């Protein structure tokens, strides 16, 4: 069986404020939703294809709360937020509270799931698999956890810990938001929240697991390749 790789535009936004990245996502997302609405009125041979984008970035210290979350999972007040140079933002993705900061690869795929013949559940599973395969390249075994999105280590033990959080939004099969993958992340910032609403599970990073800082750019390169393999896309 020949798999035709679908071209998707890739952009590395570097270090960018969370709100600025969110605004950019919203603009691209709205453009794609508009195209889908217009396509419904056109014959198939005149419809525009939505190429899609995958965005990578890092954020300055920020806590974000998803639609299904509760602010009680942020364990600090505004004064302490200022002290640790962090901000707080309510967002329209799924999931509860999480932390973004330097040394973390944040990925925002804005793609048309119908183009890839995916439902949302399988889309999330593909994101998880892309991270799992990336970690394996660096000698770290990880897996999905039943009943909890993201990528985890040692799920069958009392040392279960999350290395990648996932929270997405999808409308008319167009996605936004995505994943937060701890590479060289300062894990102390997670002490001020119940990550993703959990109080009985830990958080980790590649740096913590390997005992040394990891080549951040190399991890991004490997992750791009794994996403291409899992999704059947060509990031260009």
DSSP string across 15-33: E--HHHHHHHHHHHHHHHH
> What tokens were used for 177?
């938001």
Q: What are phi and psi of 128, to 5 degrees?
A: -60, -45
Q: Which of 94, 169, 163 is nearest to 134 (CA)?
A: 163
Closest CA to 229 of 136, 130, 124, 131: 130
Active site annotation includes 89: no
Contact 181, 131 (CB under 8 A): yes
161 forms beta bridges with: 153, 202
Cα→Cα distances 169→94, 136, 178, Å: 6, 27, 8
Q: Which helix (H) or strand (E) holds 83?
A: helix 78-83
**φ, ψ at 168 (rounded to 5°):** -125, 165
Structure tokens at 28: 């691209």
Among 48, 55, 54, 56, smallest CA distance to 31 is for 48
- Give the residue numbers annotated as catalytic, written as ranges: 196
């Amino acid at each position: 069986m020949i798999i035709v790789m679908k071209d998707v535009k890739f952009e590395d936004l570097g270090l960018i404020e969370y709100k600025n990245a969110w605004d950019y996502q919203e603009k691209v997302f709205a453009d794609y939703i508009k195209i889908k609405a217009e396509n419904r009125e056109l014959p198939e041979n005149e419809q525009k294809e939505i190429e899609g984008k995958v965005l990578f970035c890092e954020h300055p210290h920020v806590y974000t709360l998803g639609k299904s979350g509760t602010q009680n999972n942020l364990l600090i007040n505004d004064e302490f937020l200022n002290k640790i140079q962090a901000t707080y933002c309510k967002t329209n993705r799924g999931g509860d509270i999480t932390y973004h900061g330097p040394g973390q690869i944040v990925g925002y795929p804005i793609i048309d799931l119908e183009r890839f013949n995916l439902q949302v559940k399988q889309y999330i599973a593909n994101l998880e698999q892309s991270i799992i395969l990336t970690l394996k390249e660096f000698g770290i075994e990880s897996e999905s956890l039943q009943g909890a999105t993201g990528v985890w280590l040692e799920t069958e033990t009392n040392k279960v810990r999350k290395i990648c959080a996932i929270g997405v939004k999808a409308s008319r099969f167009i996605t936004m938001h995505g994943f937060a993958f701890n590479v060289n992340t300062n894990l102390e910032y997670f002490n001020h929240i119940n990550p993703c609403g959990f109080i009985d599970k830990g958080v980790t990073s590649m740096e913590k697991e390997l005992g040394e800082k990891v080549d951040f750019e190399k991890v991004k390169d490997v992750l791009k390749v794994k996403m291409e393999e899992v999704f059947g896309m060509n990031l260009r």
